[in-house]
Homo-oligomer: A and B are copies of this chain.
Amino acid sequence: MPRAATSSDVFNAVAEPCRRALLDCLAKGEHPVGTLVETTRLAQPSVSKHLRVLKEVGLVATRRDGRQRFYRLNAEAIRPMHDWVTTFERYFDHQLDRVKDRAESRQREQGQRPPSGRTARDTSNPKSGRTR
């Protein structure tokens, strides 16, 4: 028995790069298929097929308008994967601080970057580099 069907498991659905690309596009907002075809530069049938998979696992939802079909992200469906992945955060280097920072800065709703005075702090110590 091969791995869980790509069309029933979020991990699998997302394992395909094209589908991640599609989700990335949709993260920016709702889009009709045509737009997605353009931005991803994939063949239209390909896009439709990938979107179908994404829809089957609940990662996207659709709305119809005339002959266009708008797709939008349903982020909730990513949560199982998110939960699993974050389980490992504790093993990342210095990840704790960064996770917190990320959350906070986002909560600050796009804060203004502090003046030039920016000494060390933690903007990646020149040494570590590791920030990626």
Asked, given contacts A15-B11, A16-B3, A104-B100, whether A132 binds B84 with beta carbons under 8 Å apart, the answer is no
For this chain, the copies found in one complex come to 2
- Flag the segment in A32-40, A60-68, A73-81, A113-121 that touches B: A73-81
Q: Across the interface, do B128 and A106 meet the contact criterion of CB distance under 8 Å?
A: no
- Render A81-100 as a binary contact track against B, CB cut-off 8 A, 1 for contact: 11111111111110011011
Instruction: Using known A-B contacts A86-B102, A90-B106, A128-B87, determine if residue A20 contacts B11 with beta carbons closer than 8 Å.
Output: yes
A132 contacts which chain B residues (CB < 8 A)? 79
Q: Judge whether A83 and B15 touch: CB under 8 Å.
A: no
Q: Is the CB of B129 within 8 A of A87?
A: yes
Contact of B75 with A88 in the complex, beta carbons under 8 Å:
yes
B73 touches A82 (CB 8 A): no
Interface residues of A (CB under 8 A from B): 3-4, 9, 11-12, 14-17, 20, 23-24, 27, 73, 75-76, 78-93, 96-97, 99-100, 102-104, 106-107, 124-125, 127-129, 131-132
